[in-house]
Amino acid sequence: GENVEQHPSTLSVQEGDSAVIKCTYSDSASNYFPWYKQELGKRPQLIIDIRSNVGEKKDQRIAVTLNKTAKHFSLHITETQPEDSAVYFCAPFSGTYKYIFGTGTRLKVLA
Amino acid sequence: GAVVSQHPSRVICKSGTSVKIECRSLDFQATTMFWYRQFPKQSLMLMATSNEGSKATYEQGVEKDKFLINHASLTLSTLTVTSAHPEDSSFYICSAGSGAAETQYFGPGTRLLVL
């Protein structure tokens, strides 16, 4: 079956520093690559996404880069703030028409 | 923006009883709905994919006779946990989309506690 892994599983950064989370997937037919932020007890929120015909996308402090050949995509957060603290999930849309969530990364931004 | 609701938000039930969770797309027609389960400090695990008017597709290891899914209209899907046991206690989240490889919109989730 499809395999989706995230690294690191936990990440602590100082406020103002950058954070990078990598998502590696196995299904070469995946064509849509979203990142979600989930706060405790809440639903996942889409923060950025990218499609397979684009290599990079940026939205203010958040960016996503995609390497389809190597089958990984990464979330980049610059100028981190305490409110960025949450669990982040990637969820590539597979060739079997479903989203497979990654293992999750707990980000802690230290003030 | 697209809004998905879930009801109830939390439910406590006795072991052996059945619980129904509703997922509604309020302002768009959802051709596909997904049901996930999330245990504490774990990722979202896809349980099944539900398409309007057809039988749900269950993921490996998910008992279709225990987790009954009905997607009778383009705005409503239901998940019924039959004969619930304490190990079924979890956070159940639905999401809805209007097509393949499109943005999915999540419901707020239902926290189920089986005593």
* Nearest Cα residue to A26 out of A55, A49, A59, A4: A4
> Contact, A29 vs A94, CB < 8 A?
yes
Whose structure tokens read 């990364």? Answer: A105
Mutate to test the interface with B, among A43, A47, A57 (most CBs of B within 10 A): A43
* Nearest Cα residue to A89 out of B49, B9, B104: B104
Task: Render pLDDT for B57-115 as a digit per residue (tens, 0 to 9).
Answer: 999 999 999 999 998 888 999 999 999 999 999 999 999 987 655 678 999 999 999 99
Closest Cα in chain B, distance from residue A78 (Å): 24
Q: Check whether B8 has a pLDDT greater than 60.
A: yes
Q: How confident is the model at residue B2 (pLDDT cuts 50, 70, 90)?
A: confident
- Pairwise CB contact (< 8 Å): A99 & B107: no
Q: What is the pLDDT along chain A (111 residues), one digit of tens a residue?
A: 688 999 999 999 999 999 999 999 999 999 899 999 999 999 999 999 999 878 999 999 999 999 999 999 999 999 999 999 999 999 999 877 889 999 999 999 999
